[in-house]
Structure 1
Amino acid sequence: MRRPWGLALLSLLAGVAAIAVALGPLLASSGGVHGFAFSTIGVGAILIGLNALRRNRRAPSAGVLATAVAGIGAGAIGSVAMLGMLVTSPGGPTLLPFAPAGPVVAGSTGQWAASTTQVTLTSVAVVGVGPTKQVVVGNGGSVRLAAGYSFRSATSNPQLDVRLERRVAGGGWTATGIEATVAPNAPLTAATPAYSTTLATEAVQYRFASGTSASAPVSVVYENQHLYTGMAATIYADAAPYCPNTAVEIAHLGGREAGDYAPGALLIRISTAVGVRANLTRASQRALALHECSHERQWLNYGGSQEGYAQMKAAAAADFTVGDNGAPPIEHAADCGAMALEPNGYLGYGGFCTRAELNEGARLLNGQEY
Structure 2
Amino acid sequence: MGAIVYVAKESDSLESRVAASPETVKKMVALGLEVIVQKGAGEKSRIADADYVAAGAKAGTAADAKKADVVLRVRRPSETEMKSLKKGAIVLAQMDPYGNEKALAALAKAGVTAFAMELMPRITRAQSMDVLSSQANLAGYQAVIEATHAFDRAMPMMMTAAGTVPAAKVFVMGAGVAGLQAIATARRLGAAVSATDVRPAAKEQVASLGAKFIAVEDDEFKAAETSGGYAKEMSKEYQAKQAALVADHISKQDIVITTALIPGRPAPKLISRDMLKSMRLGSVAVDLAVERGGNVEGSKPGDTVTIDGVTVIGVLNMPGQIAASASLLYAKNLLTFLDTMIDKESKTVSVDLEDELVKATALTHGGAVIHPAFGGETSKGAA
> Structure 2 length as normaliser, TM-score?
0.23
Q: Radius of gyration: which is bigger?
A: 1
Structure having greater relative contact order (Cα 8 Å, sep ≥ 6): 2
> Structure 1 length as normaliser, TM-score?
0.23
